[in-house]
Amino acid sequence: MKLEVAVPYNKVRLSDRLVGLDAHFWGRVAVNARLVLLVRPASALSGEPPRGPLRALRSRVGFAEQIADLKSLRGGMARWASRHARWKLKRLLYPAREPPGGWEYAYASRIVGLLDLDHAEPLGAAWLPVTFDVDARRAVVGGSTDKLYTWLLEKDPEFRRSVAQLARGADS
């Protein structure tokens, strides 16, 4: 099943960074830590809604809720991820202790810690044209495989189910 859509994003200024937060698939991941995979540089997004055969998906979440979700991911886990990332050789020699909540939360916390969420400023909507191939578990953006959406299609059953429902026309 193939699906060609324009995914809506909330464009946000985080101090000196412009990012887009996926406003359709937000919250449709099996693990909350994977929300960081739905953040991308605003330079990859189009400011205009799509024209032509692409179906524009509707926004399901607002900017304020997305920032609150990201803030909930930051905290002490960032220190854990940072400390353990430095000792890769040690982890090969000795089993690493699993951090509370798992490695995905630890690394998501580290990534979110790099974003200035306390000074977030909404800048409106943006769009990303995406072709999802649900059967091949592949997503294409701009003629190239999109690593983030492809990883989610391969590894995240909730995300894959959401895209499959869209492809069948059961959701918009």
Per-residue pLDDT at 80: 47
**pLDDT (0 to 100) of residue 78:** 44
pLDDT at 170: 65
What secondary structure does DSSP assign to the chain, as a single string?
-EEEEEEEEEEEEETTEEEEEESSSTT-SSSGGGGGGGEEEGGGSBSSPP-SSPEEPPP-S-HHHHHHHHHHH-STHHHHHHHHHTTHHHHHHSPPPPPTT-HHHHHHHHHHHTS-GGGEEEEEEEEEEEEEETTTTEEEETTEE-HHHHHHHHH-HHHHHHHHHHHHTS--
Tell me the pLDDT tens digit for each residue of 37-51: 999 999 999 988 777
What ranges do the domains of the chain cover? 2-168
Note the pLDDT tens digit of each residue in 63-91.
999 999 999 988 655 444 455 555 454 55
- pLDDT, tens only, 125-141: 999 999 999 999 999 99
